[in-house]
Amino acid sequence: MTPDDIRAQFNLQHQASREHTDVPLLVRRERLLRVQKMLDEHGPVLAAAVQADFGMRSPRLTEVADFFVLRTLLSHTLRHLARWMKPQKVRTPLFLQPSRGWIARQPLGVVGVISPWNYPVQLALAPAITALAAGNRVMLKPSELTPHTSAQLALLVAQFFAADEFCVVQGDAATAALVASLPFDHLVFTGSTAVGRKVAQAAAQNLTPTTLELGGKSPCIVDADCDMQDAALKIAHGKLLNAGQTCIAPDYVLLPRGREAEFFQAYEAAVARLFPSIEGNPDYASIITPRHYARLRTLLQQAQTQGAEVHTIDPARGKPVTTTVGTLGDGVSRQMAPSLVFGATSGMGLMQEEIFGPILPVISYDRLDDAIAHINAGPRPLALYWFGRSEGVQADVLRRTVSGGVTVNDTLMHIAHDNLPFGGVGDSGWGAYHGEQGFVRFCHQKSVLVQSRWAMGSLFYPPYGPRFDRIMGLLRRWL
């Protein structure tokens, strides 16, 4: 599509949204059921496209990481949509009685979605599903780094939706910049903090409200009394799902000093349990491109040069699983083995930028206060994880840190809770779009007051005098 084509597509959706401001429940449900039908009938095709883009990412991984999340979102949304759409009654203050007031949840209009490559189906369709549920039109710009998936999404969405309902725009970063500059009624961006700033600046030119789902260095605090084996397994799962290419993956571990060897052994055993082999294992995703792979290798080499202790974990010691390589693509060369890095310092690149790969720095601390101070010295993270048994320490950590979300004694799972809003804070983003919170995010909450014929508003009309003073005196006593 040319820039003019994209603008014309936006204008089509914009006009349709203004002509049909009231979108009934049946229409919204039918649109969501079309998304559901698209996933049910064409999930294997989409999974194959994801596999082609990554080189090594099995359909089963895409099933759990993309499709399952979308299916639970659809089920939850369809179940609660009628209630979410109802006008929200509010109590009327004494001085306005007997009038009535409520909040009407109306569609915003046209919602733009710029989605990333790491979960290319889930993070494209999840905000679109919520925006459609709220009665909006949607224009989706998926990532150019997953061209097969983007092309399939464009083909399928065009098959299931009219262009003025839901459309997909393909293209490179210049296309994304153009989409960000359009005067949407709301714009959702998922990606890096650096690009998120550019998107926010472009949207600001049109006063377009945004939801920014960004990243950051999400810490994992291991408390002194935790079950180390259990913690290491859950940290390894959170870190290595999709080879660490997850916005809420644990970025680094804060560990009580003296427990380093214990954690290393537990983490190594956890990796072997989850991934008996790395090379050729379809459950262990490739790094998305050679450029991203080279960046991760450079970060590791720099840390080692600067004095860090690097341990690479390969349970099969390089023995490939030859039975699956031919059927699952050519990404074996980009399957990066997990690494633990001890002795990482703030001057290392690993601790200055989001890692987004299977490298896990481990930082030792002497007191919990030191761990909390370390977290609070940096930008606020998208997620925070704490492992321990003491409810008092847990409460202390929750009270003294600020993050987009928290999972206690596990990783990642807060994102799967449909009644918990998911989003960032500060450098990790703003806004949330899960569950009812997301529905409200994509609505205009219009205030409505219906005045009664018995209203006494005239008591506040001029001319002001002694009668007005008596009334205001009475009201002050009632307030």
Residue 328 pLDDT: 47
Element (H, E) at 324: helix 322-325
Closest CA to 337 of 278, 395, 284: 278
Could you write out the DSSP letters of every residue in 91-147?
A: PPPGGGTT-EEEEEEEE-SEEEEE--SSSTTHHHHHHHHHHHHTT-EEEEE--TTSH
Residue 320 pLDDT: 52
Percent of the chain with pLDDT over 70: 97
Q: Please, which pLDDT band fits residue 444 given cuts at 50, 70 and 90?
A: very high
Q: What mean pLDDT is predicted for residues 351-355?
A: 95
- Per-residue pLDDT reduced to its tens digit, 398-431: 999 999 999 999 999 999 999 999 999 999 999 9
321 compared with 370, residue with greater pLDDT: 370
Instruction: Check whether 179 has a pLDDT greater than 80.
Output: yes
Residue type at 198 in one-letter notation: K
Parallel, antiparallel, or unpaired for β 166-168 and 186-190? Answer: unpaired
Region of 422 (left: φ > 0; alpha: ψ -120 to 50; beta: rest) is: beta
What CA–CA distance (Å, rounded) separates 357 from 355?
6
As a three-state string, the secondary structure of 277-306 is CCCCCCCCCCCCCHHHHHHHHHHHHHHHHC
The burial of 89, by beta-carbon neighbours within 10 Å (0-12 exposed, 13-18 middle, 19 or more buried), is given as: exposed
Same fold, 3-214+431-444 and 219-422: no
User: How many other C-beta atoms are found inside a 10 Å radius of the C-beta of residue 382?
Assistant: 29
Q: Are 321 and 281 in contact (CB under 8 A)?
A: yes
Closest CA to 24 of 107, 116, 144, 127: 107
Q: Are 382 and 424 in contact (CB under 8 A)?
A: yes
| Superfamily of domain 219-422, CATH level 4 | Aldehyde Dehydrogenase; Chain A, domain 2 (3.40.309.10)
- Per-residue pLDDT reduced to its tens digit, 16-43: 999 999 999 999 999 999 999 999 999 9
Residue 329 pLDDT: 55
Q: What mean pLDDT is predicted for residues 296-306?
A: 95
Q: What are the structural domain ranges in the chain?
A: 3-214+431-444, 219-422
Residue 172 pLDDT: 95
- Per-residue pLDDT reduced to its tens digit, 455-471: 877 888 899 989 889 88
Q: Is 279 a catalytic residue?
A: no
Q: Are 49 and 152 in contact (CB under 8 A)?
A: yes
Q: What mean pLDDT is predicted for residues 157-167?
A: 98
What CA–CA distance (Å, rounded) separates 348 from 15?
51
Lowest mean pLDDT segment, chosen from 185-189, 301-305, 437-441, 465-469: 465-469
| Superfamily of domain 3-214+431-444, CATH level 4 | Aldehyde Dehydrogenase; Chain A, domain 1 (3.40.605.10)
Residue 326 pLDDT: 41
Q: Is 309 a catalytic residue?
A: no
Instruction: Check whether 327 has a pLDDT greater than 60.
Output: no
Q: What does pTM read for this prediction?
A: 0.93
Could you write out the DSSP letters of every residue in 151-192?
A: HHHHHHHHHHS-TTTEEE----HHHHHHHHHS--SEEEEES-
Residue 454 pLDDT: 86
Q: What mean pLDDT is predicted for residues 348-375?
A: 96
Q: Are 139 and 110 in contact (CB under 8 A)?
A: yes
Q: Please, which pLDDT band fits residue 478 given cuts at 50, 70 and 90?
A: confident
Identify the residue whose tokens are 């990333």.
116
Residue 318 pLDDT: 55
Q: What mean pLDDT is predicted for residues 80-98?
A: 93
Closest CA to 356 of 222, 183, 235, 239: 239
Instruction: Check whether 116 has a pLDDT greater than 90.
Output: yes
Instruction: Check whether 157 has a pLDDT greater than 70.
Output: yes
Instruction: Check whether 187 has a pLDDT greater than 60.
Output: yes
When the pLDDT of each residue in the chain is averaged and rounded to a whole number, the result is 94
What CA–CA distance (Å, rounded) separates 352 from 359?
14
**Dihedral sign computed on CA atoms, order 60, 62, 68, 71:** negative
Lowest mean pLDDT segment, chosen from 79-88, 180-189, 327-336, 353-362: 327-336
375 Cβ contact list (under 8 Å, min separation 6): 219, 221, 254, 381, 384, 401
Instruction: Check whether 169 has a pLDDT greater than 90.
Output: yes
What CA–CA distance (Å, rounded) separates 13 from 6?
11
What CA–CA distance (Å, rounded) separates 82 from 21?
17
Residue 94 pLDDT: 82
| CA neighbours closer than 13 Å in the CB half-sphere of residue 320 | 12
Closest CA to 200 of 218, 213, 216: 213
What's the chain's Rg over C-alpha atoms? 26
Element (H, E) at 256: strand 252-256
Q: Which of 165, 167, 213, 226 is catalytic?
A: 213
Residue 292 pLDDT: 96
Residue 323 pLDDT: 39
Q: Please, which pLDDT band fits residue 438 given cuts at 50, 70 and 90?
A: very high
Vertex 89: Cα angle to 86 and 92 (nearest 5)? 165
Residue 220 pLDDT: 98
What CA–CA distance (Å, rounded) separates 54 from 62?
11
Q: Which of 247, 279, 354, 443 is catalytic?
A: 247
Residue 330 pLDDT: 67
